[in-house]
Structure 1
């Protein structure tokens, strides 16, 4: 297939780009190169004959029309989004503009292209979203594709709105769409403002390891390479108009997750004084509206497409820690970017 991947210089997008090229697809990476993007993420495919990069903003209709006209894709995988909850609390406007306005612009550009091509049944608009659109769970239960939407942050609300737009373009105009909602991703190339990279980097620097509230918030952790595999399966074999939840089946509290990271670091890069990294754990004021628990039921994608995660959270965290230890120049170069290394999302 020939794929347009929006946000392909970001964390999940770059994993999709790398995997797609390795699998023999032709890939056009469209990215505006905002603060969380990094072309080093796709360095391994940068010179590949099946890869092309276009620096463009999904909110720019003329640029999107030009990308479709020039590259004539079989499918578009839409990952470009503002995605950091804390940043959405401090500045929701960018999330509205990009996640809602940008998705609308992209849908219209895709619809124009698809119509000009004779409305082929084989075309796909794959919209990649988050489990956060479903809101917060109690101690039991899981999100299914039929769970009512109940977003609690500007980020999740903007993603919920974009999901609704994609479904509306399918029902109103017939655009062949598929949607996926994923749990928390982690792994190599994770931008250093999220919990796992912050923990690793702060631990190595001897800084406090901040945990919101009492650390009891639960997330379902999905290794990013597993997610990329699932996304490429959905865009090729998913049923038109259908959504698929993609989860790691690896629930952990934030405290358990950080403690596991500390234990791995104790083994792979012991502190000079021999003391455990867990001593650096510090509990900080919770963020506003912090969802208590996310957990995904991935039975639909397992039953219909035969996918399930291959990496346990213990194995994935070990791989991730080792990657950060081996790739210090990559994350050090990102430390000067706006907002990295300071507390965001206080709601002040």
Structure 2
């Protein structure tokens, strides 16, 4: 039985990958030490997801390990010898990074290096999939000319009608410390592919989401927005009139692409992986969609100061990823994503009250 090693296995994408590949007959090994609870407090705790995996996947092994533990990572790789690696573990918030710069860089950049070097030493022929981020582009997308409508910002430059391509520059822009640490990891993953020939790819995600996301104010746009609506809490809009646009991709479609890459890997590759133009929404549009599902009015306040390095409008150009992997496409449209997140949070909140 093939062995898949997933870092950040209790997180949104990590857990989705575990469930998906287990259904395809893989033995799953998950690395997670619940750092989200350290980064974000009890609201970011993912132990519930770890327990879900342990109870629902027959061939699942949990490894309570920090990816910053270099010796621990080397020893695990030497003994386990996995057949593929999906690296999703990270400090995921560009706001939080400014308060914990050492933890952010050590987790995102150094932790990724630890995994790459362990791969090179013990299993150099296996696919290595890294969950990067669109924040590697910094705020450079904000330089694109845009039009303002009643509910959103839109690109007016026809060059970017289909979204941001992988050729877009990643330097000479403001990234946030989180973005900078992810750039370091992104480039290192590429380099281990190009220099050493490892089968690596960076997936520069848009808004990765789904019903099992433990969204918090500093990370997890749609998940936290839905939770705020259901709980009647005030959601804070940070700048851009609430018209900032994101493309949203369901964790299931992320897992499906990872399967495609592992089946036909390349070396040192980069893909923008988001919902694309069809799965975009602004904050104001997201309010309307969630209100239509819950029949609860969104409570919010507007703060004129935008988040440092934040995008006014961002969505992924999916043409390269579809050209390289034509069997892959988006299967979860935006209305389905919203419905699943509402159902997921409703169940979890009801369970918490019981």
TM-score, reference length from structure 2: 0.83
Determine the C-alpha separation between the residues in 2 that align with 1:316 and 1:223: 6
Aligned to 2:331: 310
1:239 aligns with 2:258: no
Aligned to 2:48: 40
The Cα of 1:13 is off from its aligned counterpart by 0.9
1:190 aligns with 2:210: no
The Cα of 1:89 is off from its aligned counterpart by 3.0
Aligned to 1:106: 115
Bigger mean CA deviation after superposition, 98-107 or 189-198: 189-198
Distance 1:148 1:283, change over 3 A: same
Q: In 1, are the aligned partners of 2:194 and 2:267 still within 8 Å (CA)?
A: no
Matches within 5 A, 1:21-60: 21-34=22-35, 35=37, 36=44, 38-47=46-55, 48-60=57-69
1:143 aligns with 2:159: no
Determine the C-alpha separation between the residues in 1 that align with 2:257 and 2:351: 26
Identify which of 237, 242, 245 aligns with 1:218.
245
Q: Secondary structure at the match of 1:207?
A: coil
Determine the C-alpha separation between the residues in 2 that align with 1:239 and 1:206: 46
The Cα of 1:7 is off from its aligned counterpart by 0.6
Matches within 5 A, 1:190-339: 190-193=213-216, 194-213=220-239, 214-249=241-276, 250-266=279-295, 271=296, 277-278=297-298, 280-285=299-304, 286-305=306-325, 306-328=327-349
The Cα of 1:62 is off from its aligned counterpart by 1.4
Q: Secondary structure at the match of 2:262?
A: helix
Matches within 5 A, 1:114-125: 114=123, 119-120=124-125, 123-125=126-128
The Cα of 1:219 is off from its aligned counterpart by 0.7
Matches within 5 A, 1:164-175: 164-175=187-198
Identify which of 94, 98, 121 aligns with 1:85.
94
Determine the C-alpha separation between the residues in 2 that align with 1:332 and 1:293: 38
The Cα of 1:172 is off from its aligned counterpart by 2.6
Determine the C-alpha separation between the residues in 1 that align with 2:314 and 2:254: 17
Bigger mean CA deviation after superposition, 248-257 or 204-213: 204-213
Determine the C-alpha separation between the residues in 2 that align with 1:145 and 1:291: 16
Q: In 2, are the aligned partners of 1:143 and 1:294 still within 8 Å (CA)?
A: yes
Distance 1:9 1:45, change over 3 A: closer
Aligned residues: 317
Determine the C-alpha separation between the residues in 1 that align with 2:105 and 2:351: 30
Q: What is the aligned-residue RMSD (CA, Å)?
A: 2.1
